[in-house]
Amino acid sequence: MTIKFECLCFLCGLVLLLAGCSRPLENLNRVSSPGETVFFVPNAKKMVALTFDDGPNGVFTARILDALHESRAPASFFVLGSNAERYPDLIKRIAAEGHLIGNHTFRHSRFDQVTKAEMEKDIADGSIAIEALTGMKPRWFRPPYGINGEGLEEACRRQGLVIAGWSLDANDWNPHPVEELVEAIVSQVTPGDIILLHDGWETRPDADRHLTAAAVPVIIDKLRQAGFVLVTLPELQRNTGVPLAVFENGIRLLGLQIPGKPLSPGGEFGARYFWDVPDNLPGTLPSAFVHFRKIRSKYFFQDDHDLNRRGDVRDLVVRRAVVVPSNAPAGKFEIMTGLFPPDAPETKDRLKVRSDFPQAQRAVYLPQALEILPLSGKPD
């Protein structure tokens, strides 16, 4: 009886594997064009990018640069033109030590509260100030507050700027203890993350960022201990990999993140999904189904959710709080996911998908495993 069951499992696995062996997926673009947005970059090398906003900022930017220099860790700084003019030696130091310098505007305007002309001028003034001090015209841009503003893509296209979002942050703009800042990053990080921190605070001179400055060397050490490699944004893109899945309408699942630690029944965990939705997709968007299925069992629980059209860069990542059912059995759970078109919930209606991972019934079976502990809280 055991032999028959194992043979059946092997045959089922072979069918799934063959179903997923259609034309291999291609890597994403290794260089983005002006006006495009980059918020997460899948890769297989455990690379992540540290980025800092709102500097340069006196002693605290200097402390962060000291930590980066000591650990030989590159980073990407999105600076304000007004702050660069206030601290010219710091902006020159950032450039001299090999970090990427991106434009974060001159004045830190809210793009949902200014005209298109004012937005374009703030962006242009930021680039002018950076180039005047460093001799380098920035190629990357991050909108203040992560708010795009109407016409941002066209403005950046005209000014030769790639738009940088982010996928992981510690909310350090709002002061938190160092331990919380470190935990927020280290407990969630996944390969391809663009990590947001702040070395300044808008245009305030000498803003207090001592907590972030103290957290940075700890974050670097812990990331490296976990096998992560720190790179600048261009380097992250040069090492881009393939998305998890590409659907027939052009939607791509670039990646996802779930906890690596075992969970208890009845507990809650955070999940991040990196969906890339084309700007020109017509009609109502499909919805995602996500099933956490116990391996070699019919039991599963769900985290189905809606997709969003591209909007502000701060909203591109789908963040979910998922509750593990109190009756969830102990063991490893695989992830099955796919897309349903609007008002068509039948299996046959699922969108066709390409993936390098196994498939069945237009669903992709991903290798990420979620582990559920027995009710005792101890592994079997």
Radius of gyration over alpha carbons of the chain, in Å?
22
β-strands 168-169, 194-198 pairing: parallel
- Looking from the CA of 212 toward its CB, the CA atoms found within 13 Å total 30
CB burial string 50-71: b at 16+ within 10 A, e below: bbbbbbbbbebbbbbbebbeee
* Distance, CA of 349 to CA of 351 (rounded, Å): 6
Judged by phi (left if over 0) then psi (alpha if -120 to 50, else beta), residue 72 lies in left
Alpha-carbon separation of residue 303 from 23, 152, 292 (angstroms)? 29, 33, 8
Backbone angles phi, psi at 171, to 5 degrees: 55, 40
* Rounded-to-10 torsion of CA 21, 22, 24, 25: -120
User: Which positions are catalytic?
Assistant: 53, 198
Nearest to 233 by CA among 142, 113, 172: 142
* Distance, CA of 295 to CA of 298 (rounded, Å): 8
Nearest to 350 by CA among 335, 336, 361: 361
**Block residue for tokens 């699922």:** 350
Backbone angles phi, psi at 238, to 5 degrees: -65, -20
